[in-house]
Structure 1
Amino acid sequence: MDTNSNTDELVLVTGGAGFIAVHCILQLLNAGHRVRATLRDLNREAVVRSMLREGGVEAGERLTFIQADLSSDAHWKEAVKDCAYVLHVASPTPKLNFKHEDEMIIPAREGVLRVLRASRDAGIKRVVLTSAIGAIVYGHPKQTTPYDETVWTDTTHAPAYQKSKTLAERAAWEFIEREGGKLELSVVNPAAVMGPVLGPDYSHSIYLIKNLLTGKMAGCPKINSCFVDVRDVADLHLRAMLDLKAKGERFIATGGESIWLVEVAKILKAHLGNKADKVKAMQLPNTVLRIAALKDPMVKSMVPLLGTPMNLTSAKAIELLGWSPRSSKEAILAAAESLIRLNLL
């Protein structure tokens, strides 16, 4: 890997209590970096340190925290001070009961611009932005060829959360082009993030596994998705941060070809024995989901995906950066086993 770094450099990780962020912090510390993490509430520091211990790292003084919120200019100048890189992982999570989509779009876009402005002014080398496949796969006619990084979501036909991810990433690229100065940008677009949970904070994708294991799902809607292990997402962030070839590039993160949700349920039943007794590995008729969507906003956002292939390729990250992800099956089972082990069901 062609790098522009020495390992002792200080790295800022935004949204330090988040699922992907904690795994990024773990890998940065293991690689010898010092880390500063932003939290909206500094009372969360103990939770983050506990999750890192679950991941095998006692961070000590090599990890510090600063209070900063994406919705405010306060403290971002101090947050980026003396850092060499920024991993901008923080993003507003999906809101279910929003009155207007701008409740998600504005914080996501303005938050990205706050971080980029502060990074440029502080002389940061490179920002790695955590985007999502939501910025790629929505609003297109059905296609059988895998989506790659050249594709962008059509925001006229995207749910609010995916629209917010798309517009925030577009705003980031436009900022770099127009007023970024010497600041470099790389972007990681993960598929549904699985892998080992370290504590009570985990990605909304993992609720799928939780709902299957607890029997909350009466069956599996005909939805297709790619999956990726959070450890590999963190690894790709570090590669995108350090590798000279990652400058100005976006990278899809998937652990393989897309699979239908009923296959996810079958993986759990095949490998978890009686711990998967409540999993219902049967296909639900589309009408069931359409009826549930009338009352549940989260379900409503899934309706456009019914029966739609959502295959993606990570060939770019694999070929350009030497990234080598775990399989989707391994990522799914790691999520399930950690939920069981930590009594989080």
Structure 2
Amino acid sequence: MSTVLVTGASGFIAKHIVRELLENGHAVRAAVRSERRRAQVEALFPGASLTFVSLDLTSDEGWTEAMEGVDVLMHTASPFPTAPPKDPQELIRPAVGGTLRALAAAQAAGVTRVILTSTCGAIYKPAGDQWDRPKTREDWTDPEGPRTTPYEASKTLAERAAWDFVAEHPEMRLTTINPGMVFGPAMDADYGASLRTVEQLVTGEYPALPTMGMPVVDVRDVARIHVRAMTEEAAVGQRFPANAGAMTLPEMAQILRASYPDAKVTTRIAPDWLIRAAALVMPPMRTAAMGLAMNAEVDGSDAPRQFGFEYISSSAALLASAEFIRQSVGTGSRVA
């Protein structure tokens, strides 16, 4: 079995990847940024074949040592903002620089197998007037497009940089995984931005909902794809969008309202003109405005066909998130 370096190991997706790796007999070297993050991960896997290193996307320190004895690099780390930054470079620099730093350290250490966590956001906003059609793994988001968010730009440029790097170093064997909006159960109370969206829906924090849609996938399937891709020779050189089916926020709200009739789920739909107007003065609304009138469907059929599984449905992933939040300390009373 392999020793796998997982960067950003305290993240929502990464913790599921670590569990999947350990359950399949692999040893994990978990890269985290702080002792607090280390304690979070360590508490989930007592007695496991798990070691820790401290790494930062913006610093060279520790990367050479972290690669010693590693067979596979699983690079999941990338900055994710709670709100769009004023300067997109706040996300782009660490995302691109961190990816190249990880790849260079791997290449120097003779670690040739790399799995990179990208996003459907690096796929579904290509250049030109292509908003009304589904996208495939052949599509690339235009990082300078007027409706591309800074996060989508950072992930697109980071993935492009990774493919350019391996083109110059043909011994490197790269696969990228491109999840949509990742729902499903969290492994602890630190569940990040995607489940925060579900929390906002079930607690009625949205006064009205934009009609923006997004690809949706369960975190357990995302972890499965990462680990199966690691040992599949046919996966080398491929991108794998992970999408069980796109949903709009109003569709999500309807599902949640039916399952939690006593929750304060908003089902009111905000007209597009109102979202666009609000985006002019409210930075959090800009992301919603950028996604209006867009076909968010991305063909995710390659992964289950290649790796032999069936997606957990988008609605089941959504409800798994809501149930986790309902039962979580400090949020259950707000949802039930």
- Common fold, TM-score beyond 0.5? yes
- Deviation of 1:82 after TM superposition, in Å, equals 0.4
Separation in 2, partners of 1:279, 1:81: 50
Cα 1:273/1:343, change in 2 over 3 Å: farther
Deviation (angstroms), 1:283? 1.4
Q: Aligned runs of 1:98-113 on 2, under 5 Å?
A: 98-113=85-100
The amino acid across from 1:292 in the alignment is: A
Where do residues 13-92 of structure 1 align in structure 2 (5 Å cutoff)? Answer: 13-50=6-43, 52=44, 58-92=45-79
Equivalents in 1 of 2:84, 2:326: separation in Å?
29
Unaligned 5+ segments in structure 1 are 1-6, 53-57
Tell me, what secondary structure is at the counterpart of 1:251? strand
Q: 1:227 aligned to 204, 216, 223, which one?
A: 216
Deviations along 1:51-77, whole A, 9 cap, x unmatched?
Answer: x3xxxxx34251111111010000011
* CA distance, structure 2, for counterparts of residue 153 and residue 49 of structure 1: 36
Alignment partner, residue 150 of structure 1: 138
2:247 match: 259
Counterpart secondary structure, 2:206? coil
RMSD, aligned CA: 1.6
Q: Tell me how far 1:81 sits from its aligned partner.
A: 1.0
Q: Which runs of 4+ in 1 moved over 3 A?
A: 142-145
Displacement, 1:133? 0.9
Larger mean Cα displacement after TM superposition, 277-286 or 10-19:
277-286
Conserved? CA contact 1:29–1:59, under 8 Å: no
Deviation readout 1:189-240 (Å, 9 max, x if unpaired): 0000000012232242222111011110112111111110000000010111
- Which ranges of structure 2 fall in alignment gaps of 5 or more residues? 332-336
Match of 2:334 in 1: none
In the alignment, which of 231, 247, 253 is matched to residue 242 of structure 1? 231
- Aligned counterparts, 1:88-237, within 5 A: 88-94=75-81, 96=83, 98-140=85-127, 141-157=129-145, 158-178=148-168, 180-237=169-226
Is this contact kept in 1: 2:22–2:48, CA < 8 A?
Answer: no
Secondary structure of the equivalent of 1:263? Answer: helix
Question: Counterpart amino acid of 2:214?
Answer: S
Question: In structure 2, what residue type is equivalent to 1:227?
Answer: V
- Whether the aligned pair in 2 keeps the contact of 1:217 and 1:280 (CA below 8 Å) is yes
Q: Secondary structure at the match of 1:204?
A: helix
Task: Tell me if structure 2 keeps the 8 A contact 1:245–1:321.
Answer: no
Shift of 1:308: 1.7
Identical aligned pairs, as a percentage?
Answer: 39
Retained in 2: the 8 A contact 1:12–1:38?
yes
- Equivalent of 1:280, from 241, 266, 271? 266
Q: Distance in 2 between matches of 1:273 and 1:316?
A: 36
Deviation at 1:148, TM superposition (A): 0.7
Query: Which deviates more, 220-229 or 92-101?
Result: 92-101
- How far apart, CA to CA, are the structure 2 residues paired with 1:132 and 1:203? 16
Q: What letter is aligned with 2:37?
A: R
Query: Shift of the alpha carbon at 1:97?
Result: 5.8
Q: Distance in 1 between matches of 2:195 and 2:282?
A: 18
**CA positional deviation for 1:144:** 4.2
Q: Secondary structure at the match of 1:252?
A: strand
Instruction: Answer yes or no: is 1:342 the counterpart of 2:325.
Output: no
Whether contact under 8 Å (1:42, 1:66) holds in the other structure is no
Q: Normalization by structure 2: what TM-score?
A: 0.93
Structure 2 letter corresponding to 1:188 = I
Aligned residue pairs: how many? 328
Alignment equivalent of 1:314, drawn from 279, 293, 300: 300
Deviation of 1:143 (Å):
4.4
Three-state SS of the structure 2 residue aligned to 1:11 is strand
Decide whether the 8 Å contact of 1:120 with 1:181 is kept in 2.
no
The 1-side partners of 2:180 and 2:84 are apart by 24
Residue of 289, 297, 315 corresponding to 2:283: 297
